Structure 1
Amino acid sequence: MATIFLAFGLVLIVEGLAYALAPSLVERMLEVLRSLPESARRQVGLITIVIGVILLWIAHQLGV
């Protein structure tokens, strides 16, 4: 259970840093996402999930 809180905490830190350090970049990125068709946004989401799973697998293999 503590690992879940750790993971969510890290996600919130990274998200918060993006909004705090580069809010205009976040706005431009959102505009680009709005201009993409739904299928492309879905593909980006699926690729992100796959990368996340790979990173978790690597961390697990390293004993983290």
Structure 2
Amino acid sequence: MSELLVALGLVLALEGTLYALAPGAMKTAIRQMLDLPDQTLRTAGLVALAAGVALVWLVRG
């Protein structure tokens, strides 16, 4: 359970860093995402999910 909380903390730290360093770029990215079809976002989410699971699997073996 503590590893899950550490992972969540890392995600929040990375997200926060992006918003703190480049808020304008993040707003632009969000506007562009709103124009994408749902299927494209879903596919990108599934690819990110698979990459994350594969990375954890490789590291934790």
TM-score by length of 1: 0.89
Quote the Cα distance in structure 2 between the aligned partners of 1:51 and 1:28: 25
Structure 1 residue ranges without an equivalent (≥5): none
Q: Deviations over 1:3-58 (max 9, x none)?
A: 01100110010010011001111111111111111111111111110110111011
Quote the Cα distance in structure 1 between the aligned partners of 2:4 and 2:41: 26
Q: Percent identical across equivalent pairs?
A: 36
TM-score by length of 2: 0.93
Structure 1 stretches of at least 4 aligned residues deviating more than 6 Å after TM superposition: none
Report the count of equivalent residues. Answer: 61
Quote the Cα distance in structure 2 between the aligned partners of 1:32 and 1:54: 28
